[in-house]
Chain A
């Protein structure tokens, strides 16, 4: 059986809480079966609202949500069969780990033997065997998190929703949990809709990422494409680090364009500019600009070092370049490192292909 590319479908969904402001605007989103899709965006961008509509705790103001071809807007949450992992885990504090996991099975009137088997399987999936009789309060944050994941999966839902599930964990634990969730997803092939505002989390885990801002999906693509080829300034700015130059298109030919800044002219890749005279913001990833490049690059300028920050594996250098005092460079920490000092003049070069002329900020 082939995977359904429209397993979950948001069809022209609008949502408003107060009848004045739309928190979700004309959302059109297809999620394939077995996909790990992340809704990424700043707080208030409507991503959690989308998740709540899918779970059934909010109803769309307009439009339909379809699950496997069926309209689910009128189905109450408990009949949707969608697993959910909540931000604060929402484990039942008065039940043991076993009872927490057995809850969705018991309400489905599954037999005791079967429940035991499924709970056991779910717990081994998150490597928490032997914790059945513990109360949630006796578990660490990471363990509670894993119980919550196991509980959302134990009744074999078709879709699992995760609402910033790692938000309360410390950095190291969060990273290891990211891999753990990713591996669970790969091994059981469940469709996961994941909400986060942490871009590195999104980039690590997802098949595809939907970047939300202002109630709209700004870009929906794979993590690599999102990072390498942002389609607008917001995405470029939101995902990863970014150097920008504001200017005006002075010449355009095919994919390439010239952008006139206040004191120079740079070559760049024309993404969303169409004609001469348009205002634009040129976006360039810090690691794509090189210091004292050995090979020839079509953008080559010199700037003054303002600040040098040692980061262990790399050094961040802030340079005043072409009137932008916030231009950041990442210099890998190799043995053949250059001597970098504040107020030193250095040459910086990059290829015009890596500089993307996007919509003006």
Chain B
């Protein structure tokens, strides 16, 4: 039994464990202080913004705060027929407060998003209240119902009730082209309005193909880099890295110069007679442009991890494979290739994850058919100012990346990744 075993003491008579803890405490504190700024930095720049993004994406407190009495009264309402007098009274008094604070317009806009037609009927009600047309001693339900026939429609009251919870998944559904129907069930938007799903699929498709292209081009380059004599491989390494050091914008712009219809590549095709001068193919403002530019820009992210892995593979392994009777192909496929899988995994993961969230290049050369989900996020950030929707889509993108990472971990094992 451990309690019966004799405690080990140091020469000074202090128990060994205590002494050890004391000796290590100082080092631990020092080590923690050393990493503390980084932890703080990570928290401020990573954990906090993502948390903020999440709350923003599900936040729906605005109406909850605007109509406290209404929702209190609605708790008893079954939501099937027109609500009872108390709900109308609650709504009336809440709305009066909003009018005094001059924030009634926001309510109208927000409710209008939930169901079309709210904007006009709330304005109409406001005018009635301002003119003191509502007699508080009589049934408020009757008076409000007279303001507009829509106030007599139960669907509008159901719409208000739907906005009651302070949190909503509606933005996420919208990101997948779905919405909460009047009865609270999840429904799909009309087929001709399903833009987001197309964008998600296109993003995945472009990221996948860019990853494949990068792999097909990067693998031989990395192999050359790893096997060429030093003086050539250094030169080649600079060729790989030079674009990497150039500004992203500059590189994208130079692709625009190359790929446009009157551009260098088209000129060359015309010169060698591949295409007619009046029939120049469009290589920009579509998927082709996005593929070409993104592959070139992301190539170093594939080459570098592959190179670092290939560098460690002893050339004698290939020789061993051949001397044991394997043809060069067999030696490559059975010996060399399996050993590069950690590099392939790292490179593909890196390129895919970067590609899935790529923004500038598709925005500049993508045109209508070559833009990605990140461009849509930016659009909502800058143009519609629907930040909660942008946040929701950003988080969907993030969770997509995490899912890919998880699948990758299951298939290859993250421990096998080698980045350098």
Chain A residues at the B interface, C-beta cutoff of 8 Å: 55-57, 76-84, 86-88, 90-94, 103-104, 107-108, 151-152, 155, 161
Q: Is B103 an interface residue (CB 8 A)?
A: no
Give the chain A neighbours of B314 by CB distance below 8 A: 88, 90
Q: List 18 A-B contacts (CB under 8 A).
A: A55-B323, A56-B322, A78-B322, A78-B323, A78-B324, A78-B326, A80-B323, A83-B323, A83-B324, A84-B320, A86-B316, A87-B316, A90-B316, A92-B320, A92-B335, A104-B324, A152-B324, A155-B324
Chain B residues at the A interface, C-beta cutoff of 8 Å: 314, 316-317, 319-328, 330-331, 334-335, 338-339
In the bound complex, do residue A84 and residue B323 qualify as a contact, i.e. CB atoms below 8 Å apart? yes
Bound Cα distance A155, B321 (Å): 13
Q: Which of B320, B326, B327, B339 contacts A86 (CB 8 A)?
A: B320
Smallest beta-carbon distance B52→chain A, Å: 45
Interface centre among B322, B331, B339 (most CB of A within 10 A): B322
Smallest beta-carbon distance B312→chain A, Å: 10
Bound Cα distance A57, B323 (Å): 9
Give the chain A neighbours of B327 by CB distance below 8 A: 78, 107
Bound Cα distance A57, B318 (Å): 11
- Given contacts A84-B320, A86-B319, A90-B320, whether A108 and B335 have CB atoms under 8 Å apart is no
15 additional A-B residue pairs with CB within 8 Å, beyond A56-B322, A81-B325, A90-B317: A56-B323, A76-B322, A77-B322, A77-B323, A78-B328, A78-B330, A84-B319, A86-B316, A88-B316, A90-B314, A103-B324, A107-B324, A107-B327, A107-B330, A155-B324
In the bound complex, do residue A151 and residue B339 qualify as a contact, i.e. CB atoms below 8 Å apart? no
Bound Cα distance A57, B328 (Å): 12
In the bound complex, do residue B321 and residue A94 qualify as a contact, i.e. CB atoms below 8 Å apart? no
Smallest beta-carbon distance A27→chain B, Å: 21
Q: Which of B326, B328, B339 contacts A103 (CB 8 A)?
A: B326
Give the chain A neighbours of B326 by CB distance below 8 A: 78, 103-104, 107
- Given contacts A78-B331, A86-B320, A88-B316, whether A108 and B339 have CB atoms under 8 Å apart is no
Give the chain B neighbours of A161 by CB distance below 8 A: 323
In the bound complex, do residue B325 and residue A104 qualify as a contact, i.e. CB atoms below 8 Å apart? yes
Smallest beta-carbon distance B227→chain A, Å: 14
A-B pairs, 8 with minimum CB distance: A104-B324, A90-B320, A90-B316, A84-B323, A77-B322, A86-B316, A107-B326, A78-B322
Bound Cα distance A103, B320 (Å): 10
Give the chain B neighbours of A104 by CB distance below 8 A: 324-326
Give the chain A neighbours of B323 by CB distance below 8 A: 55-57, 77-78, 80, 82-84, 161
Give the chain B neighbours of A81 by CB distance below 8 A: 325
Bound Cα distance A107, B321 (Å): 10
Give the chain A neighbours of B317 by CB distance below 8 A: 90, 92
Give the chain B neighbours of A87 by CB distance below 8 A: 316
Smallest beta-carbon distance B323→chain A, Å: 4
A55 to chain B: closest residue by CB: B323
Give the chain B neighbours of A91 by CB distance below 8 A: 320
Q: Which of B325, B335, B338, B339 contacts A78 (CB 8 A)?
A: B325
Give the chain A neighbours of B319 by CB distance below 8 A: 55, 57, 77, 84, 86, 90
Give the chain A neighbours of B331 by CB distance below 8 A: 78
Bound Cα distance A348, B370 (Å): 95
Bound Cα distance A88, B315 (Å): 11
In the bound complex, do residue B321 and residue A103 qualify as a contact, i.e. CB atoms below 8 Å apart? yes
Interface centre among A76, A81, A90, A161 (most CB of B within 10 A): A90
Give the chain A neighbours of B338 by CB distance below 8 A: 94
Smallest beta-carbon distance B320→chain A, Å: 4
Interface centre among A55, A78, A86, A88 (most CB of B within 10 A): A78
Give the chain A neighbours of B324 by CB distance below 8 A: 78, 83-84, 103-104, 107, 151-152, 155
Bound Cα distance A78, B314 (Å): 18
Give the chain A neighbours of B320 by CB distance below 8 A: 84, 86, 90-92
In the bound complex, do residue B339 and residue A107 qualify as a contact, i.e. CB atoms below 8 Å apart? no
Bound Cα distance A155, B330 (Å): 17
Bound Cα distance A81, B322 (Å): 10
Bound Cα distance A103, B326 (Å): 8
Give the chain B neighbours of A92 by CB distance below 8 A: 317, 320-321, 334-335
Bound Cα distance A82, B323 (Å): 6
Bound Cα distance A55, B320 (Å): 10
Bound Cα distance A128, B320 (Å): 21
In the bound complex, do residue A155 and residue B339 qualify as a contact, i.e. CB atoms below 8 Å apart? no
Bound Cα distance A93, B316 (Å): 12
